[in-house]
Amino acid sequence: MMIEIPRAPALPPATSAEATVVTLTERAAQHFATQLAKRNSGLTVRLGVQPSGCSGYSYRVDYAETPGADDLVVDTRGIRVAIDRGSLPLIQGTTVDVVKHGLQRRLRFDNPNARDYCGCGTSFAA
């Protein structure tokens, strides 16, 4: 599955009082539940960011049997999501959705911390 980063911020920056860690839409939760069910191992979705692309960061999505020792674990729509603490300030308040483009489905990250996006749509600056 591809990752899509919107070209313009979809949400205004969240205040610390209203920010949630990460939210999955119903479509994203269904997608991750299906992916987790297909695996012999991996009960947790791991989300994070890594230095990459022309704007600075790209999203990382993995599956893990157990969260890492330094991960923050949240439950959103019945899906266990682990976020490494180094990525947390960059994705705090992000909503993850699954969108369709023709026959393709993509993960879409609506991140209130993203200030800018690369032209190819694969990285963001925070």
Q: What is the CATH number of the domain that holds 27?
A: 2.60.300.12
- Cross-strand partners of 2: 106
Between 24 and 105, where is the model more confident?
24
Number of separate domains in the chain:
1
What pLDDT does residue 1 have? Answer: 61
Q: Which band of pLDDT confidence, cut at 50, 70 and 90, is reported for residue 45? A: very high
What pLDDT does residue 14 have? Answer: 40
* Mean pLDDT value across the chain: 83
Give the range among 9-13, 33-37, 69-73, 99-103 with minimum mean pLDDT.
Answer: 9-13
Instruction: Let me know if residue 14 belongs to a domain.
Output: no
Residue 14: count of CB within 10 angstroms of its CB: 14
Instruction: Let me know if residue 8 belongs to a domain.
Output: no
Burial class (CB in 10 A: 0-12, 13-18, 19+), 49: buried
- Amino acid identity for residue 116 in this structure: D
Mean pLDDT, range 62-90, rounded to an integer = 92
pLDDT at 98 over 80: yes
Among 15-24, 55-64, 79-88, the range with the most confident prediction by mean pLDDT is 79-88
Q: Which two tokens stand for residue 24?
A: 């999955």
Which residues lie below 8 Å from residue 39, measured CB to CB, with a gap of 6+? 63
Instruction: Report whether 63 contacts 40 (CB < 8 A).
Output: no
Instruction: Let me know if residue 7 belongs to a domain.
Output: no
Residue 113: count of CB within 10 angstroms of its CB: 19
pLDDT at 115 over 80: yes
Structural domain boundaries, residue 99: 20-114
Mean pLDDT, range 19-43, rounded to an integer = 89
pLDDT at 54 over 60: yes
